[in-house]
Structure 1
Amino acid sequence: MANRIILNNTSYHGKGAIAEIPAIAKTKGFTKALIVTDPDLIKFNVAQKVTALLDECGLPYDVFSEVKANPTIENVQAGVDAFKAAKADSIIAIGGGSAMDTAKAIGVIITNPEFADVRSLEGVAPTKNHAVPTIAVPTTAGTAAEVTINYVITDVQKERKFVCVDEHDIPEIAVVDPDMMSSMPKGLTASTGMDALTHAIEGYTTAAAWEMTDMFHLEAIRLIAKHLRGAVENKPEDREGMALAQYIAGMGFSNVGLGIAHSIAHTLGAHYDTPHGVACAMMLPIVMEYNQDYTGEKFREIARAMGVEGVDGMSQAEYRKAAIDAVKQLSKDVGIPEKNEKVKAEDLEVLAADAYADACRPGNPRETNVEDLKELYKKIMA
């Protein structure tokens, strides 16, 4: 079977990269954009860094900022209405995964109106047309939604998140500017950074991994281990390192999938509103322990990328433990809690069933079942 790589048509990287947006819009022939962002980025004038450039170049735009931390079906529907009301021909998504995911769903529905029922996009949706032309400007270093073919929407009624995988949703242009990430508070920097690490490690060990994506994932792990602690302290060089690391991780996992750390994280977000990165960080070392006998020699390379010395002289058991311990230590160093007090024994059946049904579960290197998933949840119970 052939391996496939899908990436943005073009991406811009580095400090000040957002200055390219007016020229991009002009080249693409945009006449009016819908800005998709969230209320905090409006409140703290982060989105204004981009809208000021649009004002200067004279590109009209409307702003849609009704995006929740875990975007809902209703968010998407409101965004579709806003796009139509604006008579826009393009989207500029500014934010973390929530704004990006909302923008992707809006863009796909506009060009594929037969999928107006947002639930119909779950899984691998057979859309025919590429989404509305989109420029994606991340403000967090973690989700890599600007370079992936995935997005996640919350179904509030059913208390579940569903994953959509669609090659038509990827933004044509990604503008990855670390200056757009400089206002992230410590907690958000830590959690999104650990989300990126989870992407890299799960992508590296997933069943579909291959040489090209391994290259991306190992470099992402190395960069995250090197830069996340400093990024939490808001050091500019480490902000830039994390901006690149999370994008590289996205280049990989978008094309090969993830595993059950993400399946479980999705359920924790849907049921308890646990921040996605925090949930991933809690589960990553636990899932690594669960999967370790099904990963061959890959944990040796994870340990090496995490900065562990002397791995070539270690036994398999030693380097696997070293890799897991290095992940645990990084998570601890950036302030991620180990336990989730909201998880209750009476919820385990539903949580495990939802995680088993999640689109990320089949990519896990070890076959799993509902009973095993219950046991994994127990490890984060207070």
Structure 2
Amino acid sequence: MSVNRMILNETSYFGKGAIKEVVTEANKNHFKKALVVTDKDLLKFNVATKVTAILDEAGLDYEIFDQIVPNPTIEDVQAGVKACQSAQADHIIAIGGGSVIDTAKAIGIIVTNPEFSDVLSLEGVADTKNKTLPILAIPTTSGTAAEVTINYVITDKANERKFVCVDPHDIPVAAFIDSDMMLGMPKGLCAATGMDALTHAIEGYITKGAWEMTDMLHLQAIEVIAKSLRDSVAGSEKGREQMALGQYLAGMGFSNVGLGLVHGMAHPLSAHYDTPHGVACATLLPKIMDYNKEYTGERYREIARRFGIADADKMPLDQVREAAVQAVKQLGIDVGIPQNLRELGVKEEDIPQIAADAYRDVCTPGNPRETTLEEISGLYRSML
């Protein structure tokens, strides 16, 4: 048996009211001052302020950095580093979705490893020497699981590409999975981030590095998401609570084994067209599942079981694989995910560039089926 590594948060809190435990963690660690990293909308709509009110009540010192945008750039990270240094913060409280928490990770890593201040040198597996400035992560979307992963994604605007950073030093010291922080998500964001979580679970389950412990996490995540996403998008409080758990389970797994071609092909769509990451993944997922199906053994049968497909145990393998693909596709349709790339603004003439970017993406080698540049180009074209 090969050596497998698991890296998870030191501490995580789950359930309604979990954000109150931020005070517990701040006091336990003798933190003096936080940089609260969030975005303007989360402040405007009184989501981030649920946390700052708790900090105020406890008399904890902080400054706010709210310049985070979807698909954060190198420049956004560098602005955050300056804000963190100016505030003389000894920890970061990240309140938001994947873009916020990813930016917080990059800020925290550069503050403690200033030789990486160009940000670009963090691409791939960077040889950082020090742990990030401590991060307390509070997700406001149920999808990215950035609060429990060792990955983050930054946009290189100058070259119209996204790059993935993988660093065991960047994982938040504590995560607070509080569904009350997710109740304000609009339906579209709820659907996109939820399908992103499903993509994490399915890609993590079929990736080359998958093993028993991550299989357990990914299969449970698939089952929770399959049962809960429609209700969550419809606004059900119980559905959102379940999705908060499902996305975290998926994050525990994929962070430790990697992803595959769906993410490899999704990153260029966000970089070139500013497509929300979850939408890009959700649109691509059924097509890439179909592309991979002959290379996954019995794993699609287990996915079909978790989707509650009748007779999944008895179906011939080719039929159960197709049933799993169709179940995922139907879930995407039901929650309003675009079904072709033209809806995302993709142009035929751009395919050579985005295909080249996808082929080089750090996620692509984890795919269970070996792929080529030509095949990736063909997959993009087939979805226009």
Distance 2:383 2:70 in 1: 22
What is the letter of the counterpart of residue 356 of structure 2? A
Structure 2: state its 5+ residue gaps.
Answer: none
Report the 3-state secondary structure (helix = DSSP H, G, I; strand = E; otherwise coil) of the residue aligned with 1:157.
helix
Structure-2 residue corresponding to 1:109: 110
Structure-1 residue corresponding to 2:278: 277
The two structures have a TM-score, normalised by structure 2, of: 0.99
Report the 3-state secondary structure (helix = DSSP H, G, I; strand = E; otherwise coil) of the residue aligned with 2:12.
strand
RMSD value over aligned CA atoms? 0.6
Structure-2 residue corresponding to 1:49: 50
Whether 1:38 and 2:39 are equivalent positions in the alignment is yes
Whether 1:343 and 2:355 are equivalent positions in the alignment is no
Distance 1:126 1:168 in 2: 10
What is the letter of the counterpart of residue 376 of structure 1? L
Aligned-residue offset at 1:337:
1.0
What is the letter of the counterpart of residue 343 of structure 1? V
Distance 2:146 2:189 in 1: 16
Structure-2 residue corresponding to 1:211: 212
Distance 2:371 2:162 in 1: 20
Distance 1:3 1:24 in 2: 30
Report the 3-state secondary structure (helix = DSSP H, G, I; strand = E; otherwise coil) of the residue aligned with 2:60.
coil
Structure-1 residue corresponding to 2:87: 86
Report the 3-state secondary structure (helix = DSSP H, G, I; strand = E; otherwise coil) of the residue aligned with 2:341.
coil
Structure-2 residue corresponding to 1:148: 149
Whether 1:67 and 2:73 are equivalent positions in the alignment is no
Distance 1:117 1:171 in 2: 22
Structure-2 residue corresponding to 1:245: 246
Structure-1 residue corresponding to 2:257: 256
CA deviation map 1:297-319 (0-9, x unaligned): 00000011111111111000110
Contact 1:282 1:380 in 2 (8 A): no
Structure-2 residue corresponding to 1:286: 287
What is the letter of the counterpart of residue 157 of structure 2? V
The two structures have a TM-score, normalised by structure 1, of: 0.99
Runs of 4+ in 1 over 2 A off after TM superposition: none
Report the 3-state secondary structure (helix = DSSP H, G, I; strand = E; otherwise coil) of the residue aligned with 1:42.
helix
Distance 2:338 2:118 in 1: 37
Whether 1:370 and 2:373 are equivalent positions in the alignment is yes
What is the letter of the counterpart of residue 358 of structure 1? D
- Aligned ranges for residues 132-171 of structure 1 at < 5 Å? 132-171=133-172
Distance 2:142 2:379 in 1: 27
Aligned-residue offset at 1:379:
2.6
What is the letter of the counterpart of residue 105 of structure 2? K
Report the 3-state secondary structure (helix = DSSP H, G, I; strand = E; otherwise coil) of the residue aligned with 1:312.
coil
Structure-2 residue corresponding to 1:361: 364
Q: Which has the higher mean CA deviation after the structures are superposed, 193-202 or 372-381?
A: 372-381
What is the letter of the counterpart of residue 346 of structure 2? V
Aligned-residue offset at 1:169:
0.2
Structure 1: state its 5+ residue gaps.
Answer: none
CA deviation map 1:265-304 (0-9, x unaligned): 1000000011111110111010001101110000000011
What is the letter of the counterpart of residue 281 of structure 2? C
- Aligned ranges for residues 313-352 of structure 1 at < 5 Å? 313-341=314-342, 342-352=345-355
What is the letter of the counterpart of residue 213 of structure 1? T
CA deviation map 1:323-368 (0-9, x unaligned): 0000001000101110122111111110110001100001000110
Structure-1 residue corresponding to 2:196: 195
Aligned-residue offset at 1:380:
2.3
Structure-1 residue corresponding to 2:19: 18
CA deviation map 1:75-123 (0-9, x unaligned): 0000000000101100000000000000000000001111111000000
What is the letter of the counterpart of residue 360 of structure 1? C
Report the 3-state secondary structure (helix = DSSP H, G, I; strand = E; otherwise coil) of the residue aligned with 2:129.
coil
CA deviation map 1:209-265 (0-9, x unaligned): 000000000000000000000000111111110000000000000000000100111
CA deviation map 1:44-69 (0-9, x unaligned): 11000000000000111000011110
